[in-house]
Amino acid sequence: MRTDPRIAHTRLFHLSYCNLWNMVRDSSFLQLLGQYEIFFISYPLFFSLLAIFVVVFILTTNKRKLLLPPSPPKLPIIGRYPHRSLKSLAQRFGPLMSLRFGNVPVLVVSSADAASEIKKTHDLTFINRPKRRIYQKLLYNYKDVGSAPYGEYWRQMKSICILNLLSNKRVQSYRGVREEETALAMEKIEKCSSLCSPVNLSELFSATTNNVTCKISLGRKYSEDTNKFRKLLSEFTELLGAPDVGDYLPWLAWLSHVNGLHGKAKKVAKELDEFLDGVIKEHMNRHEKHVNDHAGIQGEDQKDFVDALLDQIQRENTVGFPLEKISIKALILDIFVAGTHTTYAVLKWAMTEILRHPKIMKKLQNEVRNVSAENSSISEDDLDNMHYLKAVIKETLRLYPPIPLLLPTISTKDVKLKGYDIIKGTRVIINAWAIGRDPASWENPEEFLPVLRTGSWTIPKISKDNISS
């Protein structure tokens, strides 16, 4: 005889109920329930918090959608020449292009008007440099004027540079140094010419710019350690531009210890610090000797940058801003990076284009000979009359800026730029190389045409003075 399914279901329910009641009566179960009493009490609270979280998420995601600059659909391959690759991408996605390097949003600027808006209209928004671990190691924890954050220290350091190091009077006082080193370079060229031997212009330009910067900044050439010092500066410059994955993906910061970047930066920083310590000590001993010998204080035209900065330390009580020796060392490194490599690069590219264009060389030679017809040598006073030479230099700066990608800045707040939303914390890279070759701003942008605006020159839509200055 088969059992009615409904009766079987009733018996099963009754049996389960009895078992459950026996469990409840069991003291061990009651003890267990007491242990988890908090969970059952907070169970409604959990769902309440979850509901609040969902509401907040919906409200935040439904807020006004940001209009970001166009971006490549996937991670682009930048390669060894990022300024070229970024220019090619800008031709497809526009002069304002957003990228993402790891966790960091990046804005690439490839037009003169957008760059001008960043540097002039929103200058305070984009005035700070992004923090980089390599800068912290090499530049004394951001003590130089180039990487120091915007604030009182940065303003004082900038003021010291402008008033004490780069004033018109100070620059003119080093005229003799520039003319002396230029004359020595010409003697080397004449000697090679008389011996019918080739001239290594790259080596000559590098040595000349390094010697001028050394004598102006440090007081002498340090010729006994010239090769070592130049090699050290070259490594220093390369490290400043070396990519560090840890800047964009902090959880991969350990890679700099594996690939040798951390060790090399530590070594170069130590050697440069020891060298600059020796330079400062030498200047302090020389100053003390002058005082002890009652030789008087050096004239302003005899002082180098280190002398001027040490004088600033002595005047700190009257100026009200204490300048430390570590700041002097950081400033000297700024001067070498800004004054040596950039000048050498412009000279090298200018000579390259002159050799490639015989007609330009001929015209430039005629101008130099006409200006110096009455004198056996050329002085800086003659440069005011060499208009074509100035045009050659400006055209070189347009096509071959010594820093193709300007040092990045970072936005300190949300801002609108050309109709796009730029969020706080975005790194901004201005592609000066692309701006100088922008067809929207220049006619025949890829051609080297150092002709005068009043002559046969096809006037660009944007003045070259704005870009090269």
Q: 358 near 414, Cβ under 8 Å?
A: no
Residue 402 has pLDDT above 90, yes or no: yes
CA distance 121 to 115: 10
The confidence score (pLDDT) of residue 312 equals 78
The answer as to CATH 1.10.630.10 being correct for domain 132-343 is yes
pLDDT (tens digit, 9 = 90+) per residue, 279-323? Answer: 999 888 887 776 666 555 555 556 889 998 888 776 664 455 677
The confidence score (pLDDT) of residue 391 equals 93
Q: 117 near 107, Cβ under 8 Å?
A: no
- Residue 107 bridge partners (DSSP): 98, 428
Q: 110-119, 163-172, 307-316, 409-418: which range is least confident on average?
A: 307-316
C-alpha distances in Å from residue 304, one per residue of 31, 222, 251, 316: 85, 14, 45, 19
460 confidence band (pLDDT: 50, 70, 90) = very low
In the predicted model, what is the mean pLDDT of residues 449-458?
A: 55
Which has more confidence, 66 or 453? Answer: 66
The confidence score (pLDDT) of residue 30 equals 46
CA distance 171 to 218: 15
State what percent of residues in the chain have pLDDT above 90. Answer: 45
pLDDT (tens digit, 9 = 90+) per residue, 194-248? Answer: 988 999 999 999 889 989 999 999 888 876 666 777 888 889 988 988 888 888 8
The confidence score (pLDDT) of residue 400 equals 96
Per-residue 3-state assignment (H helix, E strand, C coil) for the chain: CCCCHHHHHHHHHHHHHHHHHHHHHCHHHHHHHHHCHHHHHHHHHHHHHHHHHHHHHHHHHCCCCCCCCCCCCCCCCCCCCHHHHHHHHHHHHCCEEEEEECCEEEEEECCHHHHHHHHHHCCCCCCECCCCHHHHHHCCCCCCCCCCCCCHHHHHHHHHHHHHHCCHHHHHHCHHHHHHHHHHHHHHHHHHHHCCCCCCHHHHHHHHHHHHHHHHHHCCCCHHHHHHHHHHHHHHHHHHHCCCHHHCCHHHCCHHHHCCHHHHHHHHHHHHHHHHHHHHHHHHHHHHHHHHCCCCCCCHHHCCHHHHHHHHHHCHHHHCCCCCHHHHHHHHHHHHHHHHHHHHHHHHHHHHHHHHCHHHHHHHHHHHHHHCCCCCCCCHHHHHHCHHHHHHHHHHHHHCCCCCECCCEECCCCEEECCEEECCCCEEEEEHHHHCCCCCCCCCCCCCCCCCCCCCCCCCCCCHHHHHC
Chain centroid to Cα 330, Å, comes to 15
The confidence score (pLDDT) of residue 405 equals 93
Q: In this structure, which amino acid lies at residue 254?
A: W
Quickly name the fold that domain 79-130+357-469 has.
3.30.43
Residue 31 has pLDDT above 90, yes or no: no
CA distance 161 to 113: 29
Q: 153-167, 295-309, 356-370, 394-408: which range is least confident on average?
A: 295-309
Q: Where are the domains of the chain?
A: 5-61, 79-130+357-469, 132-343
In the predicted model, what is the mean pLDDT of residues 54-80?
A: 65
The confidence score (pLDDT) of residue 458 equals 43
C-alpha distances in Å from residue 352, one per residue of 183, 204, 434, 451: 21, 14, 20, 17
- Most confident segment among 9-23, 73-87, 160-174, 441-455: 160-174
pLDDT (tens digit, 9 = 90+) per residue, 123-143? Answer: 999 999 999 999 999 999 999
Q: Is the dihedral of CA 299, 305, 308, 314 positive or negative?
A: negative
Do the bridges between strand 420-422 and strand 427-430 make them parallel or antiparallel, or are there none, so unpaired?
Answer: unpaired
pLDDT (tens digit, 9 = 90+) per residue, 140-161? Answer: 999 999 999 999 999 989 988 8
What does DSSP assign to residue 441? T
Which has more confidence, 375 or 269? Answer: 269
State what percent of residues in the chain have pLDDT above 70. Answer: 75
44 confidence band (pLDDT: 50, 70, 90) = low
Burial of 111 (0-12, 13-18, 19+ CB in 10 A): buried
374 confidence band (pLDDT: 50, 70, 90) = confident
CA distance 317 to 420: 48
In the predicted model, what is the mean pLDDT of residues 23-39?
A: 46
What does DSSP assign to residue 323? P
Q: In the block, which residue shows the tokens 């594996």?
A: 258
Residue 38 has pLDDT above 80, yes or no: no
Q: In the block, which residue shows the tokens 């006994």?
A: 224
The confidence score (pLDDT) of residue 293 equals 63
Q: In the block, which residue shows the tokens 């002159």?
A: 354
The confidence score (pLDDT) of residue 321 equals 64
Q: 8-17, 51-60, 87-96, 428-437: which range is least confident on average?
A: 8-17
354 confidence band (pLDDT: 50, 70, 90) = very high
The confidence score (pLDDT) of residue 248 equals 86
The confidence score (pLDDT) of residue 76 equals 59
Residue 72 has pLDDT above 60, yes or no: yes
Mean pLDDT of the chain: 81
Q: In this structure, which amino acid lies at residue 74?
A: K
Residue 189 has pLDDT above 50, yes or no: yes
In the predicted model, what is the mean pLDDT of residues 260-264?
A: 91
Closest CA to 219 of 307, 338, 314: 307
SS3 293: coil
What does DSSP assign to residue 81? -
Which has more confidence, 2 or 312? Answer: 312
Q: In the block, which residue shows the tokens 């002398």?
A: 307
